[in-house]
Structure formats: C-alpha cells, structure tokens
Amino acid sequence: MKKTLFLFFCIEIIVVIMIFAKYFKRNSLEIAFVDDQMNSFLDEKYNYITTPSIELEKGVYFVEVDYCSEDDSSTSDVYIDGMTETSINYNWIKTDKVNLYSYKNHIDYRLYVEHCCCNIMVRNAIKLGKHLDIKKVLIRYIPLKSACYNALKVALIFFVIDCAWIIAVDIRKGRVRIEILIILFISLLSSMPLTIPFLIPGHDVNFHIIRFAGIADGLIDGNIPVRCQSIWLNGYGAATGVTYPDFFMYPFAALYALGVPLYFVYKLYMLVVNFATASISYYSFYKISNKRDVALAATTLYSLSMWRLIDLYTRQALGEYTALIFLPMVILGIYEIYYQKPGYHFAFGMSGIILSHPLTVLITAEFIFVFFLLNYKKLFTLKIIINICRQCLLILLFNIWIIVPLLEYYMFEGIGVSATNRNIQGHGIYLSQLFSLEYDVSSYSKLYSASQEMPLTIGVSTTAIYLISIVALTVGGFKSKEILRKVFIIGIISLMMSSAYFPYSWLMEHCETFYHILASIQFPWRYLSIATIIAIVLFVLMYGESDCLMKKNINISKVLYFLIFITLIQGIIYMSDSVNCKSNPFTCLSEGAVNSFGDVGNFILSYVNREDCKDTSILLYSEDIEVTVLEKDGTRYKLFIDNESKQEESVDLPIMGYRQYAVDNQLINTAKGENKRLRLIVPASFVGEVNVSYKEPILWRVCEFISVISLAIYTISKQFFKLRTTYS
C-alpha cells in the first residue's frame, strides 16, 4: 500500500511539474487596442465600446484599460464573441465586471481563460447620455500566474483524491478512528455555503477580500510583514496590518499572488477555518472531559452553533470567526490553571485570538477577569499566580510584534474606534430574539428594532442549555456543581451584556471611563461569542456527569443528544437560507473589482476625509517648486524635486501621513499635511531625487525578533524535555 501510494504521489508531482512548465514556457503575449480601433453599439440603456475579437489560449491574463469617464457606474468586462448566455461565458472564461470610476483613469483586472482558443472581446459600457472615452485596452498574458494557477488546480484535485483514497483504505482495514470521520463531516457540513461557485454577500466580505489582495501586493513588493497596504483609499494606503492583525491570512494571500482567484482564496480560508475550529474544539474538549463522545458532541454544538455560522455567512467577520477557533483552547487553558494541570494552552489560545481580532481579545479578557474574581479563593494562591504570570509572559513574548505597533498607533497616530463616543444601547438584542427561528439572513443590526433584523441569536439548542443548567443546579450529588454555578453566572452575564437591557446608557452618563471600555466592542451582540462558548462548557460539565443525573431519574443524555439534533437542523436551515435568500452572489477575481474606500474608517488616521482621497494629484503650495514622479511601487515613491524658491516649500503626496514613512535624504523632513497626507518639507534651492517609503522602526523589528526567538526557544526546549523524558 505504501509503495503504491508513493508511486502515485511521484506520478502526481511529475504531472503537476509538467503542467507548470507548459504554461510558464509559453511565449509572452501583449495585445493593445487604441481608441480608433474600438467598436461601438447601443441598446436600450447602455452605449458599449468594445475591442475587436481576439483569440486567447487557456491561461491567466491582465486586462488594463486607460479611460476617461464622467459616470461612476460605467463598467468594463470580458465576454466571448457571439455568446450572450452568462453561464456559457462563465464556464469558458472568468472575469469581473469592474467599475470605471470617474476619479480614476486606469484600471486593471484579471481574466481567466478556462478553455483553449476562446474569441473574446473587452466590453466597456456606459449609460446613454453619459460620456466614456476608452483610450487604450491592453491584454497581457502572465506566465507565472498561469503556470501556478493551473498547476495548483491539478494539485488540489490530486490532494482530494489521495485523501479520499487513504481514508477509504483505512476504513476497509478498520484503522480509521470514527472521531476523525465525524470531525471531517462536521467541517464539511459547516462549509455547505462554500460549495456554490460564487461568494454570497456579507457585511464585511469586501473589506477582508481587499486585505488579502493588499497582503499579496505587499509580499510581491518584498515587504514582510505587510504593515501598510497601498491598495486602500485609491492608493493612499492604510496600515491595516498594524491595526487589524492578519497573521493567518498570509499563506492564502500568497496563493492570490501566485494567480489563484481572490474569491477562491477567501473561500479556501473559510474552509480551513471550519476544519481548524472542529479539530481544536475536539482536542480541547477531549482534554477537559477525557471522553471522546463528550468531545464529539461539544464539537458538533460549537462548530454548528448559530452565532459562529452567523459570523461566517451573514457578517463574514473574518477576524472574529478566526478568533472563535481558539476560544475552546482558552477554556482548556483556564481549566488547566483551575485544576493545576500542566500545559500552556492558555498562552497559545490567547495568542491565536491576539493574532486574529483585537476586539475578541478585549471581550475574552473581560470574562477571564470575571472568572478569576468568582474563583479568587482557589486561584489566588502562589503556585497558580506564578503559573498565570508565566503564561502571560509567554503571551507577551509571542505577540509583542503585534502588541507594540498596535499600541503605538493608538497612542500616537490618532487611530481609534469611533463607537466609544456613541450610545451602543440600541444595538442590544431582545429576549425574544434568543429563541427566534425566523430572521433576515441578509439584513444588518438595527437601532432599537428587531423587525427584519439580522440573526441575533445563539440558537434554540444553545439557549436551551442554559435552561437545562438551571435544572442541573438543583440536583444534589452533582460533583461539578460549584464550577457549573460559576460558569453559568458568567454565561448569564454575557447574555445580559449582549442585550438591550444592560444599562449602557446609564454607564455612559455616570461612569464614562468604564463605558468607553465596554463600548469599544461597537455592538453589544458581540458578547454572544462568549455566551456560545460558555453554553458549550455547561454542556460538557453536564454531559460529563450524566451518570450522576441518571441516578436522580434525569436522563440528560437523551436531552443533550436531542439538542445536538436541533443544532444540526437549525444550522442546515440557516446555511440554506444564506445560499438561497441572499441576493446578488458575486465573484471577485482580483482587487480591481472591489471598492477600496469601504469599511476602512476605523483603521486609518482619524479625521481623514475619504472623499478627498479620490484626488491623487501632488499638492504644491508654490509655483517655484516642481515635482516629477519617476516611479511608484506600492508604498514607495521615487521623485525628482526641483525647488527654485529661496525658502522651504511643502509638498503633499497622495499617501497617508504615517510616522513610519521615511525619506532617504536627511535634508527633507516629513509631517502631516492636507487631509493627513504625507507632507515633505523641502529646503530652499533643493534639486535632486528623493525616495519615500514606508519603513518599520527598529523597535518593531526588535519585537519581531523577540517573538521569533521566543517561539523557537519554547519549541526547542519542549522537544528537549520530551526526548529527555522518553530516554530517562
């Protein structure tokens, strides 16, 4: 079996290499059409300006359009000559319909030709009565992206076949463990909406798609890590890599850089998140309960819990649903601290959340603090305090490369979450919504309203666990009654804080500092993530002592199994609604298809007028100074400056004025200019070339070094002690 598998693996590698070589060695192709070569025709609504038909072979291409438009609704796309059926076009070629915005004059986007010898035309459309001037259309073959894309497609098919083959053989020989199959099934079931060949709309999907593209652009430019992404705000850039951790996105962004379509990269990320959530949940709950059936049941409840699915498919809050992977590990870490068991799961769980989503860090920390207060007699001993300090030190060392830049930005760059200045009371949920079975999966959070609102529930079964816990607390002889009671209290607090009944308005008026801490989460319903994981912990505690409850004639096992069944049904119904009830599913093959102005307000410099960022001209404040752009590449500018004035002059570049921008000439200083642009202060009579680029301070590099070395030392020492234990 091993020899056969190895032989097939070698054959697969050879096939993948041959496919890569086929596309990589193909002769480069670059075809340009200018304005007098364009064709034009009309229909009832639009004027179409198209290129002549051109035959293209299978591969990945860039389409570049130079234009002048007076209407933001004008578009550009590619279609097969003579075919008007959308489905046929999509099966043969894949491309986006991109907007030709009036504030730009150039756009580029990707074209994926999936069949050989397609006759395609680039079609540019504008509403009747509006003006669109297409100056040039360039179609360019990309060898590396074509080779990587097609080779990776085949490699993915081989990977799925190999996995299925190995599992089938192991099942036949009785070697596969049933829990692995169940985890695989749960992961695939929670990924059901990903099986359609489109993206379903979600609250934050466009924001996170641009983040993938921004990281990819930074990697191509040689920036690791990518702190500032130039893709945002029409090229002004935003330091989202500092203010919103993106560590887990890098491998997937690299796939996009290699040619994989952007929407597929995003869906692949969600698929991996679902597998990681199920796997870490099972591992954590098994470590806690030491029972495989309990761990599998808890994994099912958590992976298919309503709030996690809502985060995935209604909100599409990438940072939050990534952080939810690690909440079970944090629970395991707290369990180890509480019962004085060895392990550093708390440090790794919190590190995972820190690397995913800052607001979930705050939410989790609040309830860890509450748990420690409720258990102060047991936890505030010297041995446990030393353990907690040791784990906190590990958290700091592992994540100092994230923490220091983030704190520096919030302290010195004027970046903040505006929600702390408004009342969040009205976004709390109502009691009836916890039991809701009908909701609008495509809606948003509404102020003081539950009508046609987005799903704001932890699910019927998860809510029922809290009700069952009340019964369990009244039963005598329950071994874990004390810890069950305290965990139940934390769950109730989280539900209260997510509701419209919590006194946020009163706190805003009478306890402003405390309110600002709570209001930084922006929406009270974010606490439902804690309410969900606490419900699963209650489930584990009760299920783990089902024998004790059976003696009291309470068959809680059957009740809890019924809750699992309800979870499956409600989850499947919700995911079906997400696919069938959401309008306008879309593909996004490249960053050209998305608006770089959306949803980035909380992660840029404060008081920036985003509308003014449509102007990408260099602002000069004197006729005596001239600036020529010699080169622009991502966050780098190469300029030639000629200041004929006898005094200092200012030049405002169309990039955000972050303190980390550096100039290679010490004679020129930087400051924040108009609308927080980067201002160059040029000395009198200065003439010469100037390079401007975003550079990490030495402190940040030192922090990165500390984190890498700390992780390396921990890993090596762990392996060393493991080997010493084995051989001793």
Res. 706: pLDDT tops 90: yes
Report the distance separating Cα 407 and Cα 557, nearest Å. 48
Digit-coded pLDDT (tens) for 103-150: 999 999 999 998 877 788 899 999 888 888 999 999 999 999 999 999
Report the distance separating Cα 498 and Cα 314, nearest Å. 18
According to the model, what pLDDT value does residue 353 have?
Answer: 96
3-class state of residue 676 by DSSP: helix
Name which CATH class applies to 615-696. Answer: mainly beta
Res. 154: pLDDT tops 70: yes
Q: Give the range among 293-297, 317-321, 542-546, 551-555 with minimum mean pLDDT.
A: 551-555
According to the model, what pLDDT value does residue 583 have?
Answer: 65
Please, what is the Cα angle at 243 between 241 and 249, to 5 degrees?
40
Mean pLDDT value of segment 235-247: 90
Contact 211/203 with Cβ under 8 angstroms? Answer: no
Residue 549: pLDDT band by 50, 70, 90 thresholds? low
3-state helix, strand, coil in the chain (%, to 5): 55, 15, 30
Rg of the chain over CA atoms, in angstroms?
A: 28
DSSP 102-132: TT-SEEEEEEEE-SSSEEEEEEEEEETTS-E
pTM: 0.93
Contact 203/232 with Cβ under 8 angstroms? Answer: no
Digit-coded pLDDT (tens) for 437-474: 777 888 878 877 777 788 888 989 999 999 888 888 88
Q: Percent of the chain, pLDDT > 90?
A: 47
According to the model, what pLDDT value does residue 192 have?
Answer: 93
Whether the bond between 697 and the residue before it is cis, its omega within 30 degrees of 0, is no
Q: Which residues contact 579 (CB under 8 A, 6 or more apart)?
A: 192, 193, 196, 200
Residue 319: pLDDT band by 50, 70, 90 thresholds? very high
According to the model, what pLDDT value does residue 417 have?
Answer: 47
Report the distance separating Cα 123 and Cα 260, nearest Å. 24
Report the distance separating Cα 170 and Cα 566, nearest Å. 31
3-class state of residue 52 by DSSP: coil
According to the model, what pLDDT value does residue 82 have?
Answer: 65
Mean pLDDT value of segment 622-633: 89
Tell which residue, 187, 188, 318, 348, has the closest CA to residue 253: 318
Helix 528-544, helix 292-303: angle, nearest 10: 160
> Element (H or E) spanning 80, and its range?
strand 75-80
Mean pLDDT value of segment 420-443: 80
3-class state of residue 628 by DSSP: strand
Phi, psi of 97 (to 5 degrees): -95, 105
Tell which residue, 458, 429, 431, has the closest CA to residue 531: 458
Res. 624: pLDDT tops 80: yes
Establish whether domains 28-146 and 615-696 are of one fold: no
Digit-coded pLDDT (tens) for 334-365: 999 988 788 899 999 999 999 999 999 999 99
Digit-coded pLDDT (tens) for 406-419: 998 888 876 654 44
Digit-coded pLDDT (tens) for 29-82: 899 999 888 888 888 888 889 999 888 889 999 999 999 998 888 999 888 876
Q: Give the range among 40-44, 152-156, 170-174 with minimum mean pLDDT.
A: 170-174
Q: Percent of the chain, pLDDT > 70?
A: 94
| Segments in 650-697 forming alpha helices (H) | none
According to the model, what pLDDT value does residue 551 have?
Answer: 58
DSSP character at residue 324: T
- Indicate the Cα dihedral angle 285, 325, 467, 429, nearest 10°: 170
Name which CATH class applies to 28-146. Answer: mainly beta
3-class state of residue 336 by DSSP: helix
- Indicate the Cα dihedral angle 619, 622, 628, 629, nearest 10°: -20
Tell which residue, 174, 178, 251, has the closest CA to residue 212: 251
Cα→Cα distances 727→360, 716, 722, 723, Å: 42, 17, 9, 6
Residue 200: pLDDT band by 50, 70, 90 thresholds? confident
- CA 106 to chain centroid, in Å, comes to 28
- Indicate the Cα dihedral angle 518, 320, 361, 262, nearest 10°: -130
Arithmetic mean of pLDDT over the chain: 87
Domain ranges across the chain: 2-23+147-176, 28-146, 201-580, 615-696
